[in-house]
Amino acid sequence: MKLARRMLKVQASAIREILKVTERPEVLSFAGGLPAPEAFPVEALQRAHARALETDPAGSLQYGPTEGYGPLRAWVAERMTRRGLPARAEQVLITAGSQQGIDLVGKALIDPGDLVAVEAPSYLAALQTFTTYEARFAVIPTDEEGMRVDELERVLRTRRIKLIYLVPTFQNPRGTTLTLERRAKVARLALEHGVAVLEDDPYGELRYCGAALPPIAGLERKAPVIHLGSFSKTLAPGLRLGYAIADERTIRALTIAKQAADLHTGALSQRAVAELMGFFDYDAHLDALRRLYGARLSAMLAALGDFPAGTTFTRPEGGLFVWARLPAGIDAQQLLADAMRERVAFVPGAPFFPSHPQRDTLRLNFSNRPPELIAEGMARLAVCVERRLREARAVA
């Protein structure tokens, strides 16, 4: 544990430093995973909080059940049933964001030394969370269609895997989406091998083109899949509201873990969001959000198209991130130093790899800036890349 903790500390500090520096107001930052604050439904949330505190002040302010507020659990179950994951309210646990869902799964399932199969690259804070439970990682490569499920199958045959963790839809950090065929295969493998799957889906509702795909958790009724969702990207992250959906037995185990972690999620936030869903056109709000972010994604992809030859990048259909690979093996950490001088920032890709980092990769967030600033920031970054390329040629 001590070593794991030390590694975690170094890694976490490095990222925190990057984010702290890059969030300075004068920096055009594409580093964080921040939703656009101008898209927060402020008035609706004001009204929802006021209503919750007015109609049931005691309930909004008192201790509540660890499982979550009944009407919100029911709302999530009903919506997810329509989105292809049939669920009852009893199968829903309300969490403090989907990050807490990852932590509770770690607490409830992971014993020290257990192997977790993860994508390379993978969501950094999930790697960190599993590390706090002393997990080891079985690293599964990815391609343009997400996790290489053939590799997963090979690993499942030869190693004793405790949990498969993946972000199948608009992955963090790569933005890629697992195909329907691969989803079905993951669900089948989970069932066959009796290995739990953690399907982390904070971006699923943010699709800007292409057809929606069903959650893995909805594909094989008896497969042990835990599905995590969040209101952070669709309403507001400051509410700290997410949910886990699984079979009732798993939900009971996660509930016990949550009781030990923080007793329950904020009662007022839960009631406010349940109130909001009664008067607010959530689907129209999501449509507006999709138009807003879709335009930003287009701007980002167009700008990347003007990068020096040899630059490659993913073409996500939704979510918050594009992933790029620099030409001629340029080190993204070194590029960041150049970029910061031009007041533009991103996150180097290396920390997202549980092992064997690709140092010429980077993650770009496009949700937090309007198209014109994306164009401006990416133009500055392209100049930095060109300069590095010229220097590399001069040396060669």
Name the site residues for its own copies (rule: CB under 8 A). Answer: 1-2, 5, 8-9, 12-13, 16, 32-35, 37-38, 40, 42, 45-46, 49-50, 53-54, 57-64, 96-97, 99-100, 103, 107-108, 111-112, 125, 128-129, 131-132, 232, 236-240, 253, 256-257, 259-269
Nearest Cα to 120, choosing from 365, 366, 358, 336?
A: 358
- CB contact at 8 A, 101 and 242: yes
Nearest Cα to 322, choosing from 336, 338, 311?
A: 311
Question: In terms of CB distance, is 9 or 24 closer to its own copies?
Answer: 9
In the complex, minimum distance from the CB of residue 330 to its own copies, in angstroms, rounded to a whole number: 29
CA dihedral 341, 345, 348, 349 (to 10 degrees): -160
Compute the distance between CA of residue 339 and CA of residue 325 in angstroms, rounded to an integer.
16
In the complex, minimum distance from the CB of residue 265 to its own copies, in angstroms, rounded to a whole number: 7
Question: In terms of CB distance, is 76 or 254 closer to its own copies?
Answer: 254
In the complex, minimum distance from the CB of residue 261 to its own copies, in angstroms, rounded to a whole number: 5
Look at the block and give the residue holding tokens 């990852």: 102
Sorted by sequence, the CB contacts under 8 Å of residue 150 that are 6+ apart come out as none
In the complex, minimum distance from the CB of residue 9 to its own copies, in angstroms, rounded to a whole number: 6
Token code pair at residue 280: 């607010």
CA dihedral 323, 284, 44, 199 (to 10 degrees): -40
In the complex, minimum distance from the CB of residue 217 to its own copies, in angstroms, rounded to a whole number: 22
Largest CA distance in the chain: 72
In the complex, minimum distance from the CB of residue 183 to its own copies, in angstroms, rounded to a whole number: 27
Question: In terms of CB distance, is 122 or 177 closer to its own copies?
Answer: 122
